[in-house]
Amino acid sequence: MSATKTHDLARPAPAKASPARPRRGLRGSPTLNFWLFTGPFLIGLAIFIYAPILWSIWLSFFDARFTVTPDKFIGFDNYTYMLTNDDFVGSLGTFTVFAAFIVPTTWAFSLGLALLVNRLRFMRAFFRSVFFLPTACSYVAASLIWKMSIFSGVRFGLMNTVLGWFGIENIAWLADPNPPWYWLVIVSARLWLQSGFYMILFLAALQNIPGELYEAAAIDGAKPGWQTFRHITLPQLRATSTAVVLLLLIAAYQAFDEFFNLLSKTTWGRPPLVELYYKALGESQDYGAGSAGAVILTVLICVVTLFQGKIMGFGRGDESK
């Protein structure tokens, strides 16, 4: 009898376990299982994300040229050096110009595509696929096509050929910063690459707008077109728009691939990551200054992200589809 009792105490009968308490009746302690599930990820996070960040902060206070175990503490010298360095400050400017172009254009362009595709009655899947297809291209591949075939500065480039039909002289798209035609090349490449992706987001959001809203608007006498778009579609897309702008901004901060491949030999149009790449891994191997630059950039990104989140209310029930 007592044996049965002990048994019952140790293991409450599974059938009687209340559904409100899911932990009971499961084998092993939740704490142990929690670490079993999340442990590998958290260890990796500590080693490959948090440790580099801390190491970077530490290195940024040292004179760490050609070495990662420096012994010469120099305080904030690396920071003052980077913040007064024309190339680095210029790269922040490059980023600002780039973001100012690419964020609104991609937003408008991908929303436009989504509106077009959403209104199609035939071949919708086909056109959606066409606009989405460039997502399969890497930035490196797109850079090659843009640089070698479309915006090649010589006569056989597609753009110069087309302009030639109208009697316009060849333009050196990438080789000359005056006028800064290279922005057209960079922005158009990224527009082609990422619009289809954001179009999918907008399409999903458009299809979640209840049809009754449009019917109600029609009854109220709103003209289809601009009026319904302005007063129904746009407000309904607010959450998605916010997310898209945030994602675009983060993506713009990480700009590296196309700048590196399109403008490799030039000194202009270097965004922060390209600048840091050359600073830390180039000939000078200045890990201290490179780390200081990375810290500055990270702080900047955090501030902008938080600021934007405050303004646009990102994360407050937006993800509820």
Partner 1 sequence: MPEPARTAPAQRPRRARRGRNVMSSTGLYIATAVAAFLFLVPFYLIVRNALSTDAAITGENWQFFPTDLQWGNIGALFDDSSVPFARSLWNSTVVALLHTVGVLLICSLAGYGLARIPYKHANKIFYVVLGTLMVPTAVTFVPSFVLVSSLGWVDTYRGLIIPGLFSGFTCFLFRQYFLGFPKELEEAARVDGLGYWGAYWRVVVPNSLNFFAAIATITFINGWNAFLWPLVIGQDPSAWTVQVALSSYTTGQTVVFHQIFMATAISILPLLFVFLFLQRWLVQGIAQTGIKG
CB of 269 to partner 1, least distance (A): 16
The residue among 14 and 179 lying less far from partner 1, judged by its C-beta, is: 14
CB of 74 to partner 1, least distance (A): 17
CB of 266 to partner 1, least distance (A): 13
CB of 257 to partner 1, least distance (A): 5
CB of 229 to partner 1, least distance (A): 10
**C-alpha span between 291 and 76 (Å, rounded):** 12
CB of 297 to partner 1, least distance (A): 5
Can you give the three-state secondary structure of the chain, one letter per residue? CHHHHHHHHHCCCHHHCCCCCCCCCCCCCHHHHHHHHHHHHHHHHHHHHHHHHHHHHHHCCECCECCCCCCCECCCHHHHHHHCCHHHHHHHHHHHHHHHHHHHHHHHHHHHHHHHHHHCCCCHHHHHHHHHHHHHCCHHHHHHHHHHHHCCCCCCCHHHHHHHHCCCCCCCCCCCCCCCCHHHHHHHHHHHHHHHHHHHHHHHHHHCCCHHHHHHHHHCCCCCCHHHHHHHHHHHCHHHHHHHHHHHHHHHHCCCHHHHHHCCCCCCCCCHHHHHHHHHHCCCCEHHHHHHHHHHHHHHHHHHHHHHHHHHCCCCCHHHC
The residue among 3 and 32 lying less far from partner 1, judged by its C-beta, is: 32
**C-alpha span between 250 and 24 (Å, rounded):** 43
The residue among 41 and 73 lying less far from partner 1, judged by its C-beta, is: 41
The residue among 181 and 290 lying less far from partner 1, judged by its C-beta, is: 290
CB of 198 to partner 1, least distance (A): 8
Instruction: Specify whether the CB–CB gap between 163 and 185 falls below 8 A.
Output: no
The residue among 1 and 212 lying less far from partner 1, judged by its C-beta, is: 212
The residue among 80 and 207 lying less far from partner 1, judged by its C-beta, is: 207
The residue among 186 and 294 lying less far from partner 1, judged by its C-beta, is: 294
